[in-house]
């Protein structure tokens, strides 16, 4: 990531935690196959975003990293598009994966333009702007969905503590909070492209 190191590390922490939680949601029994697929796609996105957000000053970017990220997320986008027939949420996964491809290849495009003016191409700027708008709207629209869920009365009485175990992982507001936090992370990463 080419932004300030603090923003990079905060994005690493946010996306890494969300990705790890999505991995946990994928592994816990009780969820359906479609829920596990969705959680797996979100885990890949969160952990990939965490890896890409590591500040460039910390680790020297390797020349093979950008093509590997681009290939992995291009395959993830194709997979999400194939799954989108059954669940429209996979279209969001496809957009996110294509945004990751764009971010992985953006430094390579900047290196080619170095001799000219070190400015991104107009097409890349427009694409980045469209992706920023998409993720801003996504975060706001999805984030509003958390409020009614959080404000709803809990089925657990105040005297009885919540049952320990993996059931908390399947709470819908937790999955929504992961999606919102990854959307915010994606927005922050796109700002640095």
29-34 mean pLDDT: 69
Q: What is the pTM of this model?
A: 0.78
Distance from C-alpha of 70 to C-alpha of 78, rounded to nearest angstrom = 12
113-118 mean pLDDT: 49
- Delimit the domains of the chain by residue range: 5-61+116-151+165-191
Higher-pLDDT residue of 153 and 187 is 187
Please report where in the chains the tokens 């460039």 appear, as a residue. Answer: 56
pLDDT at 73: 95
Distance from C-alpha of 103 to C-alpha of 119, rounded to nearest angstrom = 15
pLDDT at 163: 45
pLDDT at 109: 52
pLDDT score of 94 more than 70: yes
Q: Of 191, 193, 177, whose CA–CA distance to 46 is shortest?
A: 177
Q: Of 101, 95, 96, whose CA–CA distance to 71 is shortest?
A: 101
Q: What is the pLDDT of residues 43-82, one digit of tens each?
A: 999 999 999 988 888 877 788 889 999 999 999 999 999 8
How deeply is 188 buried, as exposed, middle or buried, from its count of CB atoms within 10 A (0-12, 13-18, 19+)?
buried
User: Binning pLDDT at 50, 70 and 90, where does residue 119 land?
Assistant: low
Higher-pLDDT residue of 45 and 37 is 45
pLDDT score of 159 more than 80: no
């Amino acid at each position: 990531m080419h932004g300030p190191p603090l923003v990079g590390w905060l994005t690493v922490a946010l996306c890494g935690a969300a990705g790890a939680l999505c991995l946990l949601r994928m592994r816990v029994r009780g969820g359906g196959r479609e829920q596990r697929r969705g959680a797996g796609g979100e885990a890949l996105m969160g952990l990939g975003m965490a890896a890409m957000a590591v500040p460039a000053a910390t680790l020297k970017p390797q020349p093979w990293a950008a093509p590997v990220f681009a290939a992995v997320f291009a395959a993830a986008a194709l997979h999400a598009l194939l799954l989108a027939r059954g669940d429209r949420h996979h279209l969001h996964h496809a957009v996110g994966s294509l945004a990751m491809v764009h971010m992985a290849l953006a430094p390579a495009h900047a290196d080619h333009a170095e001799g000219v003016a070190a400015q991104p191409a107009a097409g890349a700027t427009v694409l980045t702007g469209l992706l920023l708008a998409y993720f801003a709207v996504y975060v706001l629209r999805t984030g509003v969905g958390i409020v009614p869920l959080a404000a709803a009365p809990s089925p657990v009485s105040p005297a009885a503590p919540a049952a320990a175990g993996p059931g908390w992982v399947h709470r819908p507001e937790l999955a929504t909070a992961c999606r919102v936090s990854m959307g915010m992370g994606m927005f922050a990463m796109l700002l640095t492209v």
